[in-house]
Amino acid sequence: MNCLGPALDDLVDGIRNNDKIVALKLKNTSIDGRKNQEQLFSLLLDHPSLTCVDLSNSDCVHNRNRICDEGFYAIAEGINNSQHSLISELHLQSCFLTGASLAALSML
């Protein structure tokens, strides 16, 4: 099982303290963007080396990330509020985003 659940806080803390990580791939890990907005924001805010984040879902129906519009807003705000964001790739395929996310997408 690939479910992060409460371990997401610890993972985000570890990533925030790692200035060498450039790519983060968390496909199908049951991240709920409606409940984890603060963690998603913190993950992307002013990270010194992170360039690629993959929170997408594969065709597997288990452990799907549900980033949703609320989570995407947090991601966009984390990137936009960064002094020096290096994010050049953001993968969010099949993450339950709707047209409402387009406003946040236009901020990137």
Q: Report pLDDT digits (tens) over 5-53.
A: 678 999 999 999 999 999 999 999 999 999 999 999 999 999 999 999 9
Structure-block tokens of residue 10? 């610890």
What pLDDT shows up at residue 14? 94
Q: Is the pLDDT score of 59 beyond 50?
A: yes
User: What residue segments make up the domains of the chain, in order of their start?
Assistant: 7-101
| Percent of the chain's residues with pLDDT above 90 | 81
- How far is it, in rounded angstroms, from Cα 101 to Cα 85? 20
What are 73's two structure tokens?
A: 């807003």
pLDDT score for 93: 95
